[in-house]
Amino acid sequence: MNKDYLKLMDLAKDSIRYAYAPYSKFRVGAALLMTDGSVYTGCNVENASYGLSICAERVAIAKAISAGKRDLRAIAVIAEKSEVTPCGACRQFISEFGTDIDVIYIKDGHIVVKKIADLLPEAFNSACL
């Protein structure tokens, strides 16, 4: 396992503590590695109007984009009480920035690394417009 990816999982796990999940109690953390080595973290933020909630992955990506970063290398996601992969909306959001981005998560107790293109084949992208 890539040492950077293990660190990313640790940062994602640490980010869980900032999650705002008073309704679902489903707390999630994410950590995003850019190609320049910089890292951005995120946590899920719920809202009483559930549709306005935002996932940890999208929070981390928004932080990076708002800091002028666009070159995503990998993103790790972890939940407090269960295993989790990025939801469909997050998969689409991640794929906006490339098909070669590694997604790191835990499945059956093991760390898994997959390309976003494998998690979201035939994604809607700018070529579709």
pLDDT, average across residues 45-69: 97
What pLDDT was estimated at residue 69?
97
Is it the case that residue 95 has pLDDT exceeding 80? yes
CA atoms in the 13 A half-sphere facing the CB of 71: 5
The residues assigned a catalytic role are 57
Task: Give 63-81 pLDDT, tens digit per residue.
Answer: 999 999 999 999 999 999 9
Per CATH, the number for 3-128 is: 3.40.140.10
Cα–Cα separations (whole angstroms), residue 120 to 84, 88, 93, 102, 125: 15, 8, 10, 12, 11
